[in-house]
Amino acid sequence: FDGLSRSLEKAWDSVRRDGKLTAENVKEPMREIRRALLEADVSLPVVRRFVKKVEEAALGERVVKGLSPDQKLVKVVYEELKTLMGGQQAELVQPKYGPSVILMAGLQGTGKTTAAGKLALHLKKKGLKVLLVATDVYRPAAIDQLVTLGSRIEVPVFELGTDVKPPEIARQGLEKAKQEEYDAVIVDTAGRLQIDERLMEELRETKAAVNPTDTLLVVDAMTGQEAAGLVKAFNDAVDITGAVLTKMDGDSRGGAALSIKEVSGRPIKFVGTGEKMEALEPFYPERMASRILG
């Protein structure tokens, strides 16, 4: 986003002149918002719903003392952006008993394995005993990659090579975690270049095998328009509890951040901000809303 408020600036004149927000004078700012969001690669249905909500809220009765009409509109946009992204920071689900089990899903190359390692380090730093489980049996390199990451952050990696089916590896990994009193188990799953039914079926089976507390979809921030369809497909198949938005350090236009919650009803829980294992942060909707407004 190139500072939504900056692109709105030229649309402000009419609003300022009239002294209040009217159906007539919000039209131009609404067009600007719509344009800015589409340019940022937010999917069209999400943009439509968002603009409608902003318009309704802007014209609503709520009187905000001490704010000029343009400030009021900025405030409305900020609040609606925040709501669109889930309102508050979303934590991982806490299990009533036994270890947290976090299933990592997503397409290949999105940063899923990296995110699994980052999350393991994040939880380890909180004092938890963490186990990583490698179930991507289709790419032997993926298992090696996780083992390497694990040794770098000093988190053990459970793996059974490539001859055992993913749901069975996950099941045995969880069994080990329970026996050895781990606090958290992070299961890395296979990614594909495209969504296919076999991948989804196997993901469902792996999920059923471990009954995770969280199922996190890893989404590359560069995904743009396709994010909405991707999130919907995974959510329909495995009912995600949240997302990890990776590569936020890159020059993405940020659209995926706005589509995820709207499409799935599930929040972004973490963002990846670099290749290093430390580059993972909780996702704060209010910070992102401020960043978008610029």
* Minimal distance, residue 110 CB to ligand GDP, in Å: 4
Q: Which is nearer to ligand GDP, 82 or 112 (CB)?
A: 112
> 230, exposed or middle or buried, with CB in 10 Å at 0-12, 13-18, 19+?
buried
Residue type present at position 144: D
* Minimal distance, residue 196 CB to ligand GDP, in Å: 15
Q: Which is nearer to ligand GDP, 110 or 223 (CB)?
A: 110
163: nearest Cα among 134, 189, 188, 137: 137
* Minimal distance, residue 262 CB to ligand GDP, in Å: 22
Residue type present at position 32: E
Which residues in this chain contact ligand GDP in the complex, by CB under 6 A?
A: 106, 108-114, 191, 246-247, 249-250, 272-275, 279
Structure tokens, 226: 């396709």
* Minimal distance, residue 275 CB to ligand GDP, in Å: 4
d(CA 183, CA 127): 9
Q: Which is nearer to ligand GDP, 263 or 271 (CB)?
A: 271
> 115, exposed or middle or buried, with CB in 10 Å at 0-12, 13-18, 19+?
buried
Instruction: Write the CB contacts of 192 (distance below 8 Å, at least 6 apart in sequence).
Output: 107, 108, 199
* Minimal distance, residue 244 CB to ligand GDP, in Å: 9
Specify the DSSP element, H or E, that contains 256: helix 255-264
